[in-house]
């Protein structure tokens, strides 16, 4: 029903954090069924865990939240990513039932319980080969982007102690 090009046109996420590869079913205002193909070349697996790669639970939750966002964005008819963003606002009753490893295909099933004023409450499940891997209640909120409130990138100081005034041994001469 939606391929990766249509998903990328709907969500602002990009590699490596786009976690929905295909949408199989979408009932406007009701439910979505989507797929996340878990591959060994995803960057997270080099550290989680090198000897036995396991998809982190937070990424399973994020993949379900991205599916929920697609459902809400398409159902509400939001046009373009420049209008607003759909934020992950809450997680309740999250349970992990089996590990998800490279080669698995996550089937993401998300049902909309209710949505009011841009805040949606969802029941979500992630399955692998028909077995429940994760389930949770999710809350997501759509917020319009206002040009004056868009967060600017933080400036990160990279100076060492010798270059920071007032730091021990720094330019101020204080020691």
Q: Which domains occur in the chain, in start order?
A: 4-147 (3.10.129.10)
β-partners of residue 139 are 90, 121
3-state secondary structure of 2: strand
pTM exceeds 0.75: yes
pLDDT per position as a tens digit, 93-116: 999 999 999 999 999 999 999 999
| Residues labelled as active-site residues | 48
pLDDT per position as a tens digit, 59-69: 999 999 999 99
**What is the percent of the chain with per-residue pLDDT over 90, rounded to a whole number?**
73
End-to-end CA distance of the chain: 66
- Name the token pair of 12: 């602002």
pLDDT on residue 153: 52
pLDDT per position as a tens digit, 30-86: 999 999 999 999 999 999 998 999 999 999 999 999 999 999 999 988 766 667 888
**What is the Cα–Cα distance from 95 to 141, expressed in whole angstroms?**
22
**What is the Cα–Cα distance from 10 to 55, expressed in whole angstroms?**
24
Based on DSSP, count helices (H) and strands (E) in the chain, helices before strands. Answer: 2, 6
């Amino acid at each position: 029903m939606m391929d990766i090009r249509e998903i990328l046109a709907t969500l602002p996420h990009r590699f490596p954090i786009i976690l929905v590869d295909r949408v199989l079913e979408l009932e406007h205002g009701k439910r979505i069924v989507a797929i996340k193909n878990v591959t060994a070349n995803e960057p997270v697996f080099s550290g989680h865990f090198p000897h036995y790669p396991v998809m982190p639970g937070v990424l399973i939750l994020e993949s379900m939240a991205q599916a929920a966002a697609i459902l809400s964005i398409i159902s509400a008819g939001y046009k373009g990513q420049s209008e607003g963003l759909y934020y992950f606002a809450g997680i309740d009753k999250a349970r992990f039932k089996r590990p998800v490893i490279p080669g698995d295909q996550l089937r993401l099933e998300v049902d909309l319980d209710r949505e009011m004023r841009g805040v949606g409450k969802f029941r979500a499940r992630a399955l692998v080969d028909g077995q429940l891997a994760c389930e949770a209640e999710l809350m997501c909120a759509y917020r319009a982007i206002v040009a004056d409130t868009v967060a600017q990138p933080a400036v990160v100081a990279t100076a060492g102690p010798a270059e920071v005034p007032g730091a021990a041994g720094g330019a101020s001469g204080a020691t």
